[in-house]
Amino acid sequence: MTTAGKTVNVTKHSGRVSNRGNVKKTTTTAMLAAIAVILMYMEIPVPFMPGFIKLDISDLPALFGSFVYGPICGVTICLVKNVLHSFATNTAFVGEISNFILGCAFVVPAGLIYKLHSNKKGAIIASLTGTVAMAALSIVSNYFFVYPIYYHFMSKEMILKAYQAIFPGVKSILQSLIVFNVPFTLLKGLICVALAWILYVPLAPILRNGDNR
């Protein structure tokens, strides 16, 4: 009788801990998504890129979420920030779709690797792998999906001329993506990785507080 009572109490306690952990996870994810939205609005032009491409670090909170709670959390943050951002832009969702695709390419590999190797070395490998994956996918997603949609609003020739105005040596959209977008995406990822290393160590215990894992 006593053993059964203890089992019930342990089960109830475990249930309360689990519920608190779920609430903490949901709250933290929402908070990180809100920060990501704000950072997405703080985009800045880059001298070596056409004017329609701007730099932001809104993937940083998604990287945090992916490290703390796994890649699904990171993807959720990427989705929420782009959905909310889309209501205040006139890009016909194209910019947000591109940002979501590349954001997922960044945080999913990083989250999966860090989940398997939750140490300093694993975090470095995870972050850099995510950065390289995002840069590589930027060619595929832009060339086959994002830019063909843009062509309905801005001709292919106009986009190419925007690149050629900076570097006349590029002769095609594909070449432009390799010469311009890959270094730009690598730079964006590395900035997020650097900031993550500065901020994650002091913030991780706060973000994990109340987590039942």
pLDDT digits (tens, 9 = 90+) for 20-43: 668 888 998 999 999 999 999 999
Residue 110 CB coordination number (10 Å): 32
Residue 52 · residue 34 · CB < 8 Å: no
Q: How much is the pLDDT for 10?
A: 45
Per the confidence metrics, is the pTM higher than 0.85?
A: no
Q: How much is the pLDDT for 208?
A: 65
Q: How much is the pLDDT for 209?
A: 63
Q: How much is the pLDDT for 13?
A: 47
| Residue spans of the chain under pLDDT 70 | 1-18, 20-21, 90-92, 204-213
Residue 21 · residue 213 · CB < 8 Å: yes
Q: How much is the pLDDT for 150?
A: 87
SS3 136: helix
Can you give the C-alpha Rg of the chain in angstroms?
Answer: 21
Beta-sheet pairing, 54-55 with 44-45:
antiparallel
Q: How much is the pLDDT for 15?
A: 53
Q: How much is the pLDDT for 211?
A: 55
Please state, in angstroms and rounded to a whole number, the distance separating the CA atoms of residues 39 and 167: 29
